Amino acid sequence: MNRVIPGFPLALGITLFYLSLIVLLPLGALIWQASDVGLARYFTIMSGARTSAAFQLTLVTAALATLFNAIYGLALAWVLVRYEFPGRRLLDALVDVPFALPTAVAGLALSALFVSNGWFGAPLAALGIKVAYTPIGIAAAMAFTSIPFVVRTVQPVLEDLAADVEEAAATLGASDWRIFARIIFPAIFPAFLTGASLGFARSLGEFGAIIFIAGNLPMKTEVVSLLTFIRIEEYDYPAAAAIAATLLALAFTLLFLVNMIQLWQQRRIGTGD
C-alpha cells in the first residue's frame, strides 16, 4: 500500500532531527552557558534585589493574568460551543488574534488604550485606577497574549462532550450548577488545566507586549524577560543565561506538575473514584 508520509523510521528521524535543531539545541546551549556561571555566582545573581523584584513581579502578574484567563477563557469557550448567535464565527476567529498579532503591536495598542488620556485609561484614571506603567498593565498585556490557550484547549473538549449524560442528570433532578460541577467540569478539567498552565508559562516569558505598557522601572515594573534583555545589552551573558535558565526551569517544572495532575485525574476517572 502506498503511504502518503514516509515510513516510521524516516518520519521519526526527521521529527527528532527537527525537534533537536530548533528546540533542544538552543535550550542545551542556554543550559551550557548557565552552567559556566558556577553556583556561587548563580546564587549571587539570583539573590540580587533587582533580580528578586523582577521575578516577584513576573510571577504575581502572570498568576493574575492566568486567573483572569481561566475564568474568562472558560466562559468564552462555553459561549462559543453552547450558543448560536449572530457573529459567533467572527468572535471565534477573533480568539486567535493574539496568536497572529505581533506582540509589539499588541503592546502599542494596549498602551494607547490604557494611558491616562486613552479610551480606557481616562475613565479608569477618573476612578483613581492607573493601568499603564503599573503591574496592572503588565497583567493586562499577559492576559491579552495568553487568552487563546485556555479557549482553544477547552473548546474542542466541550464540543465532544456528550449531551446525554447532562440530560440524564437533569432528568434525575440535578441542578444546573450540580451538573456543571459534577459532570462537565471534571470532564474538561485536564484541558482546562493544560490551557491555564500554558497561558501561565507564556506569560512568564512575555516580552514584546509588556515593554510598552510596563514603564520598565527597575524594582517596580521590570519583568524577568526585560531584565534578561538588559543583561545581554550590558554584555553580561552569564547573568542573562542564569536568569533565563531559571525562567526555563520554572516553566518546565510547571508543565511537569500539570502532566502529573492530568495523569492522576485520568487514573481517578478510570477507576471511578
At 73-131, the pLDDT tens digits run 999 999 999 888 898 999 999 998 888 888 888 888 888 889 888 888 888 888 888 88
Does residue 135 contact residue 222 with C-beta atoms inside 8 Å?
no
Band of the pLDDT at 206, cuts 50, 70, 90? confident
Q: Quick check: 238 and 33 in contact, CB under 8 A?
A: yes
- Local confidence band at 271 (pLDDT 50, 70, 90 cut-offs): low
First to last CA, the chain: 45
Residue with the bigger pLDDT between 20 and 143: it is 143
pTM value? 0.84
pLDDT tens digits along 236-259 = 888 888 888 898 888 888 888 888
Q: How far apart are CA 243 and CA 147, in angstroms?
A: 26
pLDDT number for residue 90: 92
Judged against a pLDDT cut of 60, whether residue 48 lies above it is answered with yes
Confidence class for position 264, pLDDT limits 50, 70, 90:
confident
Residue 106: which H helix or E strand, with range? helix 103-114
Cell of 197: 498552565
Q: Cα dist. 264→74, 103, 157, 186, 261 in Å? A: 22, 35, 18, 12, 5
